[in-house]
Amino acid sequence: MTRQKRELMNKIEEIENFIRADEELGCGFAPAGFYDPLYEEIGALMEQLATLSHYDSVEAMLHDDRWMKSQLGKPDNREELPF
């Protein structure tokens, strides 16, 4: 993972943590639309991350299931599911 991707992921996580903390400390009393600019910034950062990861769009990046398929194919993960 490149440094630029890590920085984007850290910035996204920082913004999400701020929103969660503000909602908890403010008991959900933020005015309507207060977090909209932050969510727009997250969207822009996600688009940059998708471009750096060689995806066509953010949706393609989020719906990529190659990682899950690789994890299910490992021999040590073949135990029965609990449900």
Residue 74 structure tokens: 């490992």
Rounded (5°) CA angle 35-25-44:
25
User: Which token pair is 51?
Assistant: 């471009």
Phi, psi for residue 63 in degrees, rounded to 5: -100, 10
pLDDT tens readout for residues 17-70: 999 999 999 877 888 899 999 999 999 999 999 999 999 999 998 888 887 776
Asked if pLDDT for residue 83 goes beyond 60, the answer is: no
Residue with the larger pLDDT of the pair 35 and 80: 35
- CB environment 22-40: b (16+ within 10 A), e (fewer): eeeeeeeeeeeeebeeeee
pLDDT value of position 79 = 61
Whether the pLDDT of residue 71 is over 70: the answer is: no
pLDDT for position 14: 97
Token match 């769009």: residue?
57
